[in-house]
Amino acid sequence: MSEPFFQISKLEAGYGEIRVLWGIDLAVSAGEIVCLIGSNGAGKTTLLRTISGLLPPTAGSIVIDGQELAGADTRRILAGGIAHVPEGRRLFRTMSVKDNLMMGAYLRKRGASVEEDLERVMTMFPRLAERAHQDASTLSGGEQQMCAIGRGIMSRPKLLMIDELSLGLAPRAVELLSESLIEINKTGVAILLVEQDVMTALDLAHRGYVIDRGRISLAATSEQLRQEPAVREAYIGAA
């Protein structure tokens, strides 16, 4: 693995007096897809919310390209190169698909580069181009996820974080989205993927982490995790 450009060290966070994350260490290198797997309530979404500034950490470090972002607000974190596709997509209702995509570029100056990126997203997701002026909330689940990912790309992130790629989607939609993530990754965007469908996560990722009750319990390549007896028993259903 090359030197990580994104690194979390001893990160802790929670809600009020309830601590959820306990000393999390995690790294992503340039060009990597890294997955985070774990059961419901293990702390996966809390970790992404803490990285993106929606939840303040109580301890630890979040560094991207040498820039410390622990405790920074969401605007600074987005400007630092981290985009978050949240669980449930969270598109802006009553706004068109195109306007939702453009919201991803709100920190950028409107110009040719933004229009080029919009065209790139529309080319990557032809269904969004067909529905550019449609209310985004009326899209199918798979199309909404395309729009949410496209919105993230419009910020030109160095790291794209996706929370539950496949949640509530048909297998064919998951397949199309997975293919798109591989293409996005080929452009140089690193990806941190939270995914409860462990086989989908391991098929996509180069490496992975297992989080259990707010602690990283295992870190290895995807192939090693796929063969790990404890992972197979707990998450894949085979001893």
Q: Is 14 helix (H, G, I), strand (E, B) or coil?
A: strand
Helices and strands (H, E) in the chain, number of each type: 10, 10
- Of residues 238 and 43, more confidence is placed in 43
What is the per-residue pLDDT for 61?
97
Encode burial over 50-59: b for 16+ CB neighbours within 10 A, e otherwise. bbbbebebee
Strands 215-221 and 82-85: unpaired
Q: Which amino acid is at 202?
A: L
Global pTM? 0.92
Total domains in the fold of the chain: 1
Strand partners, 33: 191
pLDDT at 75 > cutoff 50 = yes
Range of the domain at 142: 4-236
- Radius of gyration for the chain, computed over Cα atoms and rounded to the nearest angstrom: 17
The lowest-confidence range among 91-100, 107-116, 140-149 is 107-116
Average pLDDT for 186-206: 93
Supply the pLDDT for residue 237.
66
Q: Does the structure show a pLDDT above 60 at 212?
A: yes
Is the per-residue pLDDT at 126 higher than 90? Answer: yes
Question: Does residue 238 register a pLDDT over 70?
Answer: no
- The answer to whether residue 3 scores a pLDDT higher than 80 is no
Q: What is the CATH number of the domain that holds 206?
A: 3.40.50.300
Buried/exposed 152-161: b ≥16 CB within 10 Å, e otherwise: bbbbbbbbbb
Query: Region 153-176: what's the mean pLDDT?
Result: 91
Residue 151, number of CB atoms within 10 A of its CB: 24
- Which pLDDT score, from 0 to 100, does residue 239 have? 43
pLDDT at position 2 is 62
Q: Contact at 8 Å (CB) between 61 and 8? A: yes
pLDDT band at 181 (very low <50, low <70, confident <90, very high): very high
How large is the average pLDDT for residues 76-81? 94
User: What is the pLDDT, as a whole number, of residue 235?
Assistant: 81
**pLDDT (average), residues 210-218:** 95
What average pLDDT does the structure give for the chain?
A: 91
pLDDT at 217 > cutoff 90: yes
Q: Nearest CA to 190 among 31, 5, 66, 3? A: 31
Quick one: pLDDT band at residue 106, thresholds 50, 70, 90?
A: confident
With a pLDDT cut of 90, the percent of the chain lying above it is 76
| pLDDT at 54 exceeding the cut of 60 | yes
Residue 132: its H or E element: none
